[in-house]
Amino acid sequence: MKDIAGRGQWATKTGFVLAAAGSAVGLGNLWKFPYMAGENGGAAFVLVYLGILVLIGMTVMLAELTVGRHTQLDALGAYKKLSAKWAWVGGMGVLCAFLIMAFYTVVGGWAIKYFLGSFATAAANIDFVGFITAPIEPIIYTLIFCVFTWIIVFFGIGGGIEKASKIMMPLLFIFIIIIAIRSCTLPGAGAGLSYYLKPDISQINGGVILAALGQVFFSLSLGMGCMITYGSYLGRDSSLTQSAWMIPTLDTAIAFLAGLAIFPAVFAFGMEPGQGPGLMFATLPQVFGQMPAGEFFASIFFLLVIFAALTSAISLLEVVTAYFVDEKSINRSSASVIGIIGIFILAIPCSLSMGSLAGVHIIPEIASMNIPAMGFFDAFDFITSKLMLPLGGLLLCIFVGWVWGTDNAINEITEGGISSFPLAGVWSILVKFIAPIAIFMVFLSGFGVI
């Protein structure tokens, strides 16, 4: 174990909030949230998402940051320090980071293709399906995305991550608002707005709730120790409670705006809201086509998407890197190289599963549990979002609530009573009872047990 100074700390408080928000805000908001909503009943999904966000998302966010700041260690080390028997939960988080990165870098690569495409011809002219099903080209873009991610992690915490976040995050926010305005004012946008904003309660079922739960964890970077690792770089003087509601609020605002940019356009152009992972790539170039200087906007937008994806990807690679550095005493540069090479190797079958390996299913259909047959890309997404992340969150709540104890946690949050935490009692109940039971129930209903 190294001392705090030796691992580096966030230079400034806003630097941390921006970097943590940078981890949270990524493809999960811009690419995944809209298509998940589109596949799961539109506004009904949004409603369930918001409920889970407040009840479970913010609770788990505070728990993770607290464990991180208290132990000043990576995910596995943090668990191990507080209770050796729990180290495997942290280990599961490291594995999870590999699996998420395997498909995340593929989608990051798609964004690079669209960025370059908006210069070459027009993003709207790219044949999305033709591109992602090709054997070689998407893998080259995935590799480019991996290399960028690695470069930032290689140069360490303060230098790379913080500086870049400060410029790009606010810019992304402004851009997505501009695009949402254009989309909402298209002729025929109304149908999309009501699909996205008027919940049809009858659409809500176990599958929708599990999808929303998984998406909350994915979008907030929770359930696998990412926020433990980021919290570990925090100094004592930072407000954990403030971060625990500000990061989720910002994250949700961006996801919501992404939906507002996409759904009105989907309906205005007569497209299919439930088309899945291609949704953002198929619709937004059409919206840009309806804007003055559209190709200019498209290129800047896809640049911001790439950036948002990078600030998230570095947090995932950081989990892997911090593990090798803190637990295996490997130096930072070798650790990040080993991590990214492993990730790229896993990303190859993910990319190929869109085309050449389309028929290869690594998860078979289990109809009685609502599980369809899945290839690499879908399987890694399913295993992480719908199983490992919520399970990691469930275990974290039990760990903080019952093993380490909410008294110790609250002591860390308030710095031994120096700062106030008026919701301490409510949070204790949420961590000990409500969040773990709710997650368990969502599993049962999502897999058709109840």
Least distance from ligand TRP to the Cβ atom of residue 315, Å: 4
The span from the CA of 415 to the CA of 207, in Å, is: 41
Q: Which is nearer to ligand TRP, 218 or 267 (CB)?
A: 218
Give the nearest distance from C-beta 319 to ligand TRP in angstroms.
Answer: 7
Residue 22 or 77: the one with the smaller Cβ distance to ligand TRP is 22
* Cα–Cα distance, 212 to 52 (Å, whole number): 8
Nearer to ligand TRP, 223 or 294 (CB): 223
Find, among 50, 61, 54, the residue nearest to 397 by Cα: 61
**SS3 label, residue 215:** helix
Which CB sits closer to ligand TRP, 27 or 396?
A: 27
Strand partners, 374: 363
Taking every pair of C-alpha atoms in the chain, what is the biggest distance, in angstroms? 60
Nearest distance from C-beta of residue 188 to ligand TRP, angstroms: 30
Which among 372, 373, 375 is positioned nearest to 351, based on CA atoms?
A: 375
Nearer to ligand TRP, 209 or 389 (CB): 389
Shortest spacing between CB 409 and ligand TRP, in angstroms: 21
Nearer to ligand TRP, 15 or 393 (CB): 393
- 420 — alpha (psi -120 to 50), left (phi > 0) or beta? beta
- Least distance between ligand TRP and beta carbon 224 (Å): 5
Cα–Cα distance measured from residue 57 to residue 39, given in angstroms and rounded to the nearest whole number: 22
Q: How far is the CB of 226 from ligand TRP (least distance, A)?
A: 4
The nearer residue to ligand TRP, 248 or 294, going by C-beta atoms, is 248
Residue 354 backbone dihedrals phi, psi, to 5 degrees: -80, -25
CB of 66 to ligand TRP, least distance (A): 17
CA distance 71 to 13: 19
CA angle (209, 211, 216) in 5-degree steps: 95
Structure tokens given for 239: 């407000």
**21 CB neighbour count, 10 Å cutoff:** 21
Please report, as a single letter, which amino acid is at residue 347: A
Specify the residue, 66 or 221, whose C-beta has the smaller distance to ligand TRP: 221
Task: Find the shortest distance in angstroms from Cβ 101 to ligand TRP.
Answer: 9
Q: Which chain residues interact with ligand TRP by CB under 6 A?
A: 23-24, 26-29, 100, 218-219, 221, 224, 226, 312, 315-316, 389
Tokens of 98: 């590999």
Q: Which residue is nearest to ligand TRP (CB)?
A: 28
d(CA 162, CA 371) in angstroms, rounded, equals 40
